[in-house]
Chains A and B, each alone.
Chain A
Amino acid sequence: MAAAPELLPYEQIRKDLFRPLSGVSRNYLLATLCAFVVGAAGLVAWGYQLGSGMGVTGLRRPVYWGFYIVDFVFWIGISHAGTLISAILRLTDAAWRKPVTRAAEAITVFALMIGGMFPIIHLGRAWLFFWLLPYPNSRLLWPNFRSPLLWDLTAIVTYLTGSVIYLYLPLIPDMAQLAEHNTPWRRRFYRTLSLGWTGSDREWHALERAMKLMSCIILAVAVSVHTVVAWDFAMAIAPMWHSTIFGPYFVAGAIFSGIAALLVVMAALRKILHLEDYLTRHHFNNLAKLLLLMSLLWFYFTIAENLTVWYGNEPKEMAVFGARTRAHYAPYFWIMVVLNFVIPFVLLGIRRLRTIRTATIAASCVLAGMWLERFVIVVPTLANPRLPAASGFYAPTWVEIAITAATFAAMAMLYMVFSKLFPIIAVWEFKPHPQEED
């Protein structure tokens, strides 16, 4: 069995964790190229949509929110991986968090960047995005601050700013170390970003204080961001959207999908960067237990949300409920339940079955299941509005599918570039902490 990473000599830790930054393998280049091709295809599709208009998508009356809003909610949910999980583990001083936090914080930043793109893609005329900014237009009319669209903008800007700072702060000491022994351009790059860090006690004290404060602040922001996303739906008086539990339901779902994303990324990093000594079974086991807990919580919320609608038997709500569970969208709904609850419950609930491989399989299922959950929430309600005559159907076109696929490729590409520029595990945090020694 491999030794606990904290017990390895510091020189060894530094060597192992800085090694992935140098050299580029053929597999890495191939993976980057694949991601680039898929990403480029998405850009072409978006260009086609900008040139031809929103008619090239599957968005038709009455379903005006389709894949783009599903993707938006999904990626904002994934962004809860990092900052929220990292902040909770940091505040509770969980020792096993050390190899996990940076990978999680990076997911947050990239997922937010990708998720934040979707409202702009969905606008159609993306070049008029600046109309959302608080300045008066040519008729001296200000943006409507009561609109959830503007709430989204402020929430995402705040969360992205906080997440970038939260990722950047603990990177500073590592970048200062990287600036010592490196190629000239990298030395310049790291020296600039590390702001002349010297390792003085004033700097360490300030860093630790800032990280603690940021952990508290970012927790509140993360919860608020997904609540605001939930309110995009819940503030509308649409069947099965106008629900008081939508805020916590979305937050629980976001943490659920966030943990799943973190597990998948960790499994990939472990394999590709050969970090078997650092991302051990212990870390996967702990995260798998968290995933199982969130799966149970998600199932509870899903039951609570659907059972009350079924018991109330209100015709408009029942039309959506029927579409979700028995009619056109039923396959998506039941696959979602299997992916989000049945598979994780079996693979992670039975101790004998809980391994790194099964945790990764369960996490992948949850990612697919949570994307379906967003689809099942968004589309059936719009397809079955309060006016029965206005009922419709939604099927995405190749444009929406290409753009959606491109976002996954963009995530992979951003992560691959990040892992070549910065250590994916915080090296300085691996040293035994004085308080832990005491």
Chain B
Amino acid sequence: MYLIGEFCEKEAVRAAIRMLREAGVTSAQLDLFSEEPVEFPRGVLDRPSRMSLAAVLGAIAFGALATAFIYWTQYNYRVVTGGMPVFSFWATGVITFEMTMLGAIVATFAWFLWESGLVRKRDRGAPVPEVGPGAICLRVRCGAEDAPQAIEAIHRAGGRQR
């Protein structure tokens, strides 16, 4: 089941999250909804990300594939180079660089879509609260037996249960 608490201040949300975490609720069970980005100090509601790693891997993959492809095409149809190398990294380095960057761009965008949950909704049946300007809504996924504790944490932090 899902519980939704509405708060007017960031500090109240932070207190509610702290109490819920102490009661055994994990950060994966919590979601915040707001009209603006809400940031907390490290350790409150961390969302570890591998986006940078994905960008680097995407860059390496695209760059390597592009270079390999050019190398293969140069030998697939050899042109007369007058003793110069058939494949020269210096002469095709610009394409390798651009394709490396394209890989980083595509990987970043793809990872953004994945990590944000826009293309991979965790639970399509989960309620999405309507948030007014300045308000912050906290959605808690918990079992029926844990619900009273979660409701108490929301109230004690100064929130309103919806």
Contacts from A to B (Cβ < 8 Å): 10-11, 14, 134, 136, 140-142, 145-146, 150-151, 154-155, 157-158, 161-162, 165, 169, 173, 177, 195-210, 213-214, 217-218, 220-221, 224, 228, 231, 428, 431, 433-435
Contact = CB atoms under 8 A, between A and B. Distances in A.
Contacts of B73: 134, 136, 142, 145
Give the secondary structure class of B's interface: helix
B112 A220 contact: no
B51 A210 contact: yes
9 contacts: A134-B69, A140-B77, A142-B77, A145-B91, A145-B92, A158-B105, A201-B33, A221-B105, A228-B94
Nearest to B73: A142
A277 B36 CA distance: 21
Contacts of A210: 51, 108-109, 111-112
B146 interface: no
A158 B91 contact: no
Nearest to A198: B128
A224 B77 contact: no
Given A154-B99, A208-B37, A434-B10, A195 B113 contact: yes
Contact of B34 (A134, A157, A199): A199
A210 B36 CA distance: 16
A199 B33 contact: yes
B115 interface: yes
Contact of A204 (B34, B97, B99, B128): B34
A199 B131 contact: yes
Interface string B115-157: 1111101000000100101100000000000000000000000
Given A162-B101, A200-B117, A205-B37, 10 more contacts: A10-B35, A154-B102, A157-B98, A199-B34, A201-B38, A202-B115, A206-B112, A209-B49, A214-B105, A224-B97
A165 B36 CA distance: 20
Contact of A207 (B99, B104, B112, B134): B112
Contacts of B29: none
A145 B70 contact: yes
A206 B51 CA distance: 8
